[in-house]
Structures are given as C-alpha cells and as structure tokens.
Amino acid sequence: MEVGVKLLERQARGVALTAAGRVFLDRARLALMQIDAAGEAARRAEEPEKPGFIVGFLAGQEVVWLSETLRILREEAQDTETMLSSKSSPELADALMQGKVDVALLRHETQTTGLAFKFLFREPLMAVVPAGHRLAAQKAIRPEDLARETFISATRLSPVVRSAVNDYAAKVGITLKQEYDAENVAGAMSLVASIGGVSILPLNTTNMLIPSVVVRPLKGVPPTVDLMMGYNKSNMSPLLKRFLSRADELVNRVSQKHGFGSRTLRRH
C-alpha cells in the first residue's frame, strides 16, 4: 500500500517514525482495534443470548436471603445469569411494574398496579440508640423513654415503615419529637450516633449496624412490618413461576440458618 508520504527516516541509532508515520501508526492501531471489536460483536450475534433473571432486595436483606435465593435459582436454571438490584421498597415496586426486576423482597406498597405480593415474614421494629446512651443499658426500651429523646426518622423512602411507626406512637400514646428525616437507614444511623438521638427501624437493619449504635427491642407488643415477595402478574417467566413455588422452602431454610424464632420473625 502506498501512502504518499515519508513514514520512516534514518537516524544515527537506526530508523525512527516521522511525524506522518506516528499519525499513520496511531490510526492503523485504531483501525485494528475497531476490526477486533467488530469481530467480537459478530461472534456475540451468532451466540444465543444468555437469559437473565433480576432479583431485587431491600438494603440489608441480602445478608439474610441472598445465599438461599441463589441456591434455588441455580437449581432451577443453572444457565441463567442472576443479577441483583438493591433499592428502597418503593423503588423496587416501580422496577417490578416497569419490568426491570423479575422478583423482589420488599414491603407491601399500596401505590402499585399489576403487582402481586406473597407474605414471607413479619418483622418487629426496634429502637436504635447510640452505644453510649443511657437507654443502651436497658434490655428493652419503654415507648415513653423514646418520647423524651430527639427522634430521627428514616422513612422518607419507606412509607410502609412510616405508617407502622406513626400507628405505634398513636397506639401507645406518645408523641415522637422528630427533628430529622434521613434519606436512608445508613443516614439515620449516622445521625443517631452524631447527635445522640433515637430511631425506630425494622429488625433487618441490624445487618447494617455501625459500631457506634445499638438496637434494643421495644417493651410490650412491638410494631411490625411485613416482608413480602413481590412480582408483576404479567411476567410469564417460567423461572419466576418455579421460584415462587419454592417460596415456603426459602423461608424455612432462612429461618433454620439464621435462627429466627417466633419472638422475632413470625409467620402468618
């Protein structure tokens, strides 16, 4: 191939590229990379696309549910690529409605269309206090003690939990002095630790505890929130159908593995 310009020049120590030669070499390398990429794209087009299955989790629930979830999915469809999505409960509900997630562990969100929910566990809500706080020394915390403290909410993205906390406060006759509403659980814990306030969060958040805070049960009958398995009723995935049929097995295995008892997570 003739280029029409000088690409090489002799020097005392050998041959070197000219300025035109360096430009030519850079463009030639780019062309080769593009050819390689085109070849790879062509090879992928000839291969059957590997099916995917997306599972959504509330933040913190992965620690408890992920390993058994993956075990069941591997047994049902070994060649399926499983992808994970960790979001807030309303975000997971939206993803299910949009077909971006196949199945999710979330709350029973009410502002949904076309979703079905299968009950998994009933979680008690727990008091979250600074590790050095006077309430941390108690085995269980009275609701009236919480009413004396600065309350930090973590329910901006959790309407189901917010409703449970509000209903609990009304039932036991306390007014929570809410001064902060954190974006998420991590933010709430940071505020609890930094300003010495308290919060009320579901039991699963103990999987996300930072060293400077502790959780304690509430005295009396604690408020609860349900953990559900949600899916889109229009999703015709055979794998989804098989996975849903093993939901009870999933719950039983997780219960045995993590020692959940009737006093913590209770079945219907």
Looking at residue 143, its pLDDT comes to 94
Indicate where the chain has its CATH 3.40.190.10 domain(s). Answer: 52-121+233-258
pLDDT for the residue numbered 28: 67
202: its two tokens: 């579901």
**In angstroms, rounded to a whole number, what is the distance separating the alpha carbons of residues 255 and 259?**
6
- How large is the average pLDDT for residues 239-262? 87
Mean pLDDT on 98-106: 95
pLDDT tier, 156 (very low <50, low <70, confident <90, very high otherwise) = confident
In the chain, residues under CATH classification 3.40.190.290 are: 123-224
Question: Residue 258 has what pLDDT?
Answer: 76
pLDDT digits (tens, 9 = 90+) for 121-146: 899 999 999 999 999 999 999 999 99
Give pLDDT, residue 185.
83
Task: Report whether 109 contacts 127 (CB < 8 A).
Answer: no
Contact assessment for residue 83 and residue 206, using Cβ atoms and an 8 Å cutoff: no
Mean pLDDT (the chain, rounded)? 84
Given the candidates 1.10.10.10, 3.20.190.10, 3.40.50.300, 3.40.190.290, the CATH classification of the domain at 123-224 is: 3.40.190.290
- Residue 21: the pLDDT is 66
CA 222 centroid distance within chain: 25
Residue of higher predicted confidence among 268 and 58: 58
In one letter, which amino acid is 52?
Answer: G
